[in-house]
Amino acid sequence: MVLMIDSLLLTKIESDKMTSDARRSLFLSMNRPQYVSVPEGFISSLAWKLFDFNEPPTLGAGKKLALMYKVEKDTKSTNLSVTTTAPKGHDGHSAFGEVLKNSGIGPYNLDPILIATAVSNSITGIRAEKSTMQAASPLTPGIALLQNMRGVQKSQSPPDLAGIIETLYRLGAPHGSQSQSGVAERWLDASNRRLGADALLAAMDKSAKENLLLSGVKLKVTELPSEFIGGLFPNTPFTWFARIWDRLTGPDWVDALPARVWVDWATTVLRLAYGMGFLWEAAWYETFARRILRGEPFTREQLLKEIPAALPWKSSRSTQSVRDVASVLLRRVHVGGAVRKLVDSWLSTAETKSGNLLATETAITRMMGDGDFRKQLTVALGGQMKAAPNTWEAVKYALLTRDVAGPFADYYGMLRQNGRFLTVSPGTEWIAVVASLSCDRPGGEANVGRLMGDLHEMGLNPQLSDVIELLERAGLARGSADADQGVLIKSAF
């Protein structure tokens, strides 16, 4: 076993040596995203990264198991076996209720069906308008496993959402960091800490595993951590994500927040990292292409300073047409996608021809001198190619408020759709999350200057007056509004 592990490590190190400095520093190795149909899918994808499951052999030829908590109508699929995990009918509710009672929930003489109905409703997640399905809010590991990515995406081969999230986190890690824990592991540690302190939640988790979750789910053996080089993309959505995720999954915030609030905040952070991370990636490639076409030598550090705000945030006092970001973001994502493909192809071809690994400065110089490559970049910057439709859908729906009213509304989006207009309109809950996590600890304080720094790092550049107005509306601002960046922020918890 020791020899096998040593061999794996050696193979990994040799593989990393084959990655050139140019590719590491110019090409963001992020797998292509897809739109995530329900916000709960973000945490459920992390759960399924950590747990393993042997699918039952009775699904039928070529079929894969798709799990979803609730589905309004039967879904017919030739390659999916769609299974709902919520308690079903009188017998299902009765059985679930008995398990809950045996786990210590509710008076012994209470009807188990009433207990099951109450718990089932309490864990039901967001429901988007016109959607026929509803996920469970991933309050515990067992509940998070009540839907998988096949069920969320209605696809036999959904994207590796957890893998993408881990990459976003690794890109934001400090230089030289070799953390043993990634996003999923930190989530599991936080969830287990919560279970140890909350008997009700622990009972719900145990009951969900025993009665709702299909048998055969088990914790995977921890994988060897991948080596990575952090610090290449400072002051970006990636560094904001890594810092805030570490903070939110730490003991202080886990202990301070109610279970449902913590899950909503964690989901909001994941949605922001996903949406803003891919918007920033698109801005990076577009800016890189323009610098190549200028023909003047530049460094990565200079390039990083020139990246524009990934998502324009116009004044709330402007008209809706001025505040509309749909066309700007759509064009940016497609241009970035087209340039990304060109850079990837150019690096692969250049390194294959030369037989050597390229230094960053060498690659930039050769790109500027490559006439064909410059012509291709010019065409890509024209914005006529629909190069990244999946990325656009992924970004839009990660940041969009899914529903505006009702008992299962989404209060944690920052974009709002109104007809053909898409505007930056963060809700009270959104600013509460972002502003509170600018504070080092629960019950702590920060000033607006620090919050503005966090927003800039995320790829946002709002007007100070708009931010202060949002803080006042949420009841988080302390002091006079004319104190500008000196206005104090009090954490919501």
- pLDDT score at 406: 60
Tokens standing for 431? 């600013």
Residue 304 placed within a domain: no
- pLDDT score at 4: 32
- pLDDT score at 422: 96
Residue 204 placed within a domain: yes
- pLDDT score at 14: 35
Residue 173 placed within a domain: yes
- Measured in Å, how far apart are the chain's first and last C-alpha atoms? 47
Radius of gyration of the CA atoms of the chain, in A: 24
Angle at 261 between CA 135 and CA 277, to 5 degrees: 75
- pLDDT score at 384: 83
Residue 50 placed within a domain: yes
pTM, to two decimals: 0.92
Residue 158 placed within a domain: yes
Residue 190 placed within a domain: yes
pLDDT in tens, the chain (493 residues): 332 333 333 333 333 345 678 998 999 989 999 999 999 999 999 999 999 887 777 676 778 899 999 998 766 777 888 899 999 999 999 999 999 999 988 787 889 999 999 999 999 988 766 677 899 999 999 999 999 999 999 999 999 999 999 999 999 988 656 566 899 999 999 999 999 999 999 999 999 999 999 887 888 876 655 556 678 899 999 999 999 999 999 999 999 999 999 999 999 999 999 999 999 999 999 999 999 999 999 999 999 999 999 999 999 899 999 999 999 999 999 999 999 999 999 999 998 877 778 899 999 999 999 999 999 999 999 988 888 999 999 999 999 997 655 666 788 999 999 889 999 999 899 999 999 999 999 999 999 999 999 999 999 999 999 999 999 999 998 876 566 778 899 999 9
- pLDDT score at 7: 35
Instruction: Give the phi and the psi of residue 489 in degrees, each rounded to 5.
Output: -115, 130
- pLDDT score at 77: 75
Residue 189 placed within a domain: yes
d(CA 192, CA 215): 20
Residue 23 placed within a domain: no
Q: Which domain holds residue 102?
A: 33-230
How many domains does the chain fold into? 1
Q: Which amino acid is at 200?
A: L
